[in-house]
Structure 1
């Protein structure tokens, strides 16, 4: 009797992308229709911001600073104006298109000399301000959240890792920051910074004002995770092998403590445009005529009449849609990354 040896079974290794796509968290996220809807809307806003020069074509000084003689040149991907407008537009492009100098709003049906489907307010093209304002909202959101997240992670990790008087000192300072009303603290800091440079670019002062108190929440959350992670066996094993404290924190502790603060950062991306819009509404934000959603809401305040509904509805719709989309995605991401909900 003869026996035949069967061929060994070959196990096909999965790529990193396949492992990521089939992971429990991603599978749960994919089964959440609200989270997917929020992600799709957020991606649409990101595409609108990226291709703002193609959607709301440059005019006036923006046209000149991009080195163009006609608006049609922006659609040529082989030309330098296309890439400069998409990747690094000059500051003049963020100035809203001025259709007229009349203060009274005009609906789209009364405007024939330019593309203004949402009408005008104070002579400014609402459509242009909303499209380029999307780029402003995303830029400010990611810069502020990135800075506050980095500061909060570092300070919170030091607080939770070392404990003792260091932890007590940092936490009492955080208590003082959290006890202050966030908007009041931001307004005070921004007023001081703007007083030193009146009429200047408010971008850096706004970032500093929103960053001063913004990192405290991240620091408190990551401290709680670090207190748990630092007691685990692999951290003790790395310490026994002679790993220094900074190596332990940045290689072993922080990567395994970021789940909570990462989901909080996604949720905070939705609140930053609201804060910037509130500052512009109070007269502490960007100068009049800058493409920013809060500017348009501030312009609409003087025209709250049924006949001028478009001056408020369109900016409010953009703000609500942007914030709601990121909140839906952030909530779904939090549920997907929480092992207790699987």
Structure 2
């Protein structure tokens, strides 16, 4: 008597998508890089050794300090060399140089400047040096402010602008695109004419024009919300057109017709039966749209029309590096641009991997 083989269970679509995603090495690397960037933004006050507004007198444009473990031939715990002033033999101007006779220990989990984390006041920082000494891993800017602290806190603005902007623009685009494709007729014509008008303008000029409407006297938080609103206002049009085409194709499917036949409301049919069918497309599109919002905020802040002091962002930090003479003398001012490059690249890699994972026809 022959025994029949045991039936094998078919993996769920989510399991198949996860397997396809893991096959993309660049996508996995991009995903982990995004986790690191957002984690650094979330824990920025803890990771940052100084307050972003703290100015250190006499320490402007200090180059990044190197971390050492060997002093005079002896191995010791991590330390940095402090500063001492000397006169330049040519210009006779005072300048700060490394004081190699007095190493300064770098300690973990030290008490420093107070801040609030998730509403809880604390003054614990990941690392620091004894009071009266300084450690600038990425150097300082023109006002002697620590560039590492400002870059970490600036990531909170640059990275969240994209997320909030995508949520707002996708809510508008999905709603208007779904209504346009589902009802058709004069509603479809009206919405599509508005979309065509928005898409006919070049992105950067209309972005600059809308950003100039934000009053300069607004506080930093209001300016931040204004930038998000501007980016979301011009970001929904392209999505609405694509969603309209998807809804036009989906409204003739059997389960949509059955829902209409039993008397389901139009809004319920759109949100419960049509929109979930677009979930994979929307997730991938959102991931690929995020870099555009990050670059848009960075461009506005770089041109002086975005985030204002005392708030900071990666684009605002790059504004200090727009002078070629300054950039030649102080190249570390370009470090925030490296974070923009890594974030945009990671989102593109991650989005491409998600697009492949969502492709049900791939093998």
Normalised to the residue count of structure 1, the TM-score between the two structures is: 0.78
Specify the alignment match of 2:262 in structure 1.
Answer: 241
Specify the alignment match of 2:305 in structure 1.
Answer: 284
Q: Deviations over 1:251-280 (max 9, x none)?
A: 101111233232111111122121111101
The 1-side partners of 2:329 and 2:336 are apart by 16
Of the three residues 330, 336, 360, the one matched with 1:308 is 330
Specify the alignment match of 2:118 in structure 1.
Answer: 87
Q: Deviations over 1:213-272 (max 9, x none)?
A: 111111111111111111101111111112121111111011112332321111111221
Q: Is the 8 A contact 2:327 2:333 kept in 1?
A: no
The 2-side partners of 1:60 and 1:40 are apart by 27
Shift of 1:152: 0.5
Shift of 1:13: 9.0
Specify the alignment match of 2:314 in structure 1.
Answer: 293
The 2-side partners of 1:241 and 1:293 are apart by 53
Alpha-carbon RMSD: 3.0
Q: 1:203 to 1:261 in 2, by over 3 A?
A: same
Q: Do structure 1's residue 220 and structure 2's residue 241 form an aligned pair?
A: yes
Q: Secondary structure at the match of 1:85?
A: strand
Normalised to the residue count of structure 2, the TM-score between the two structures is: 0.74
Q: Is the 8 A contact 2:52 2:146 kept in 1?
A: no
The 1-side partners of 2:224 and 2:299 are apart by 14
Shift of 1:158: 0.2
Q: Secondary structure at the match of 1:257?
A: helix
**Equivalences for 1:118-267 in 2 at 5 Å?**
118-123=138-143, 124-194=145-215, 197-198=217-218, 201-267=222-288
The 2-side partners of 1:300 and 1:161 are apart by 50
Answer 1 or 2: which has greater helix percent.
1
Specify the alignment match of 1:66 in structure 2.
Answer: none
The 2-side partners of 1:263 and 1:57 are apart by 36
Specify the alignment match of 1:45 in structure 2.
Answer: 37
Of the three residues 137, 140, 161, the one matched with 1:117 is 137
Specify the alignment match of 1:27 in structure 2.
Answer: 19
Shift of 1:304: 4.1
The 2-side partners of 1:89 and 1:205 are apart by 27
The 2-side partners of 1:13 and 1:340 are apart by 20
Shift of 1:11: 9.0
Q: 1:209 to 1:61 in 2, by over 3 A?
A: closer
Q: Structure 2: 5+ residue runs without aligned partners?
A: 55-108, 124-131
Q: 1:10 to 1:339 in 2, by over 3 A?
A: closer
The 2-side partners of 1:291 and 1:121 are apart by 13
Q: Secondary structure at the match of 1:286?
A: coil
The 1-side partners of 2:234 and 2:292 are apart by 14
Shift of 1:58: 4.8
Q: Secondary structure at the match of 1:193?
A: coil
Q: Deviations over 1:67-115 (max 9, x none)?
A: xxxx94589xxxxx7xx7332489xx9xxxxxxxxxxxxxxxxxx8333
The 2-side partners of 1:39 and 1:154 are apart by 29
The 1-side partners of 2:186 and 2:313 are apart by 44
Q: Deviations over 1:138-177 (max 9, x none)?
A: 2211111100011110010000001111111111110000
Q: Do structure 1's residue 337 and structure 2's residue 329 form an aligned pair?
A: no
Larger radius of gyration: 2
Q: Is the 8 A contact 1:144 1:210 kept in 2?
A: yes
Specify the alignment match of 1:56 in structure 2.
Answer: 48
What is the total number of aligned residue pairs between the two structures?
296
Q: 1:19 to 1:339 in 2, by over 3 A?
A: closer
Q: Is the 8 A contact 1:293 1:315 kept in 2?
A: yes
